[in-house]
Amino acid sequence: MKEMKKIACLALGLTLAVPAFAQEKEEDRVKEAGEVLKEVLQAPDKGIPHDLLNKAECVVVYPSVKKAAFVVGGSYGRGVMTCRTGASFRGPWSVPTMMALEGGSFGLQLGAEATDFILLIMNEKGAKSVLSSKVKLGGDASAAAGPVGRTATAETDIVMKAEILSWSRARGLFAGVSLEGSTVRPDNGANKNIYGKEISAEDIVFKHAVKAPPSASTLLAELRRVSPHHKA
């Protein structure tokens, strides 16, 4: 009888521990994404042009994507996405939704053990597509390598026509990078882990169905500081 009670207690402990571990893992991912974005936005001469961020509807950050993860059959990088809320994406930055980046040609471009990726989604069509389904860059949504530098010109045709602009950072080198052929999609399993219930990316962003986790404080604070308002 005592042995059965011990087994039952152990099983209960494991049942409680697994969700807690999964939540902590996602919290760490959100926190790391915030640190990556903060470092890039605060870079004195290299980084994302602030005028582009001011025009963006959403920001996606994939921290520490490892080259070894991208094999045939496609493991994927994981990160977070936050969008401007309100009508036509003109409100404050939303609670983050978890996102996945799945293998494409970019796996061959990684020149280091781990690479950070940042994506800006530049219009409402692109934002709604990414929030609702799997989107192939360069196919379902037009994509381009983003220009580098706070004051870099963003008035080129390729930049102005792209729905999604992307950058990479590896070993301190920050550069615009093409992610054509790869896909982005909501990571609903990770959303369940961090928010404790089944919830879609659209409900997180549009319906404000959950509160931002403490781990999102750096991410949201930096976006509010650098780009508090959308500038069309």
What whole-number percentage of the chain has pLDDT above 70? 78
| DSSP annotation string for 6-63 | HHHHHHHHHHHHHHHHHHHHHHHHHHHHHHHHHHHHT-SSSS--HHHHHH-SEEEEEE
Alpha helices in the chain (DSSP H): 2-41, 50-55, 124-132, 157-161, 188-195, 201-206, 217-226
The pLDDT value recorded for residue 232 is 72
pLDDT higher than 70, residue 67: no
Contact 191, 29 (CB under 8 A): no
Instruction: Name the residue ranges covered by the structural domains of the chain.
Output: 5-226
**3 state DSSP class of 95:** coil
Contact 63, 52 (CB under 8 A): no
The predicted-structure confidence for 180-196, as pLDDT tens digits, reads as follows: 888 999 999 999 999 99
The pLDDT value recorded for residue 149 is 76
Q: What's the predicted TM-score (pTM) here? A: 0.84
Distance, in Å, from the CA atom of 221 to the CA atom of 227, rounded to the nearest integer, reads 10
Q: What is the mean pLDDT of residues 33-60?
A: 91
Distance, in Å, from the CA atom of 135 to the CA atom of 82, rounded to the nearest integer, reads 17
The predicted-structure confidence for 137-193, as pLDDT tens digits, reads as follows: 988 999 999 888 766 665 566 667 889 999 998 877 888 988 888 899 999 999 999
Contact 209, 191 (CB under 8 A): no
Q: What angle do CA 119, 72, 116 make, to 5 degrees?
A: 25
Other C-beta atoms closer than 10 Å to the C-beta of 158 total: 13
Per DSSP, what are the bridge partners of residue 102?
A: 76, 183
Give the chain's mean pLDDT. 82
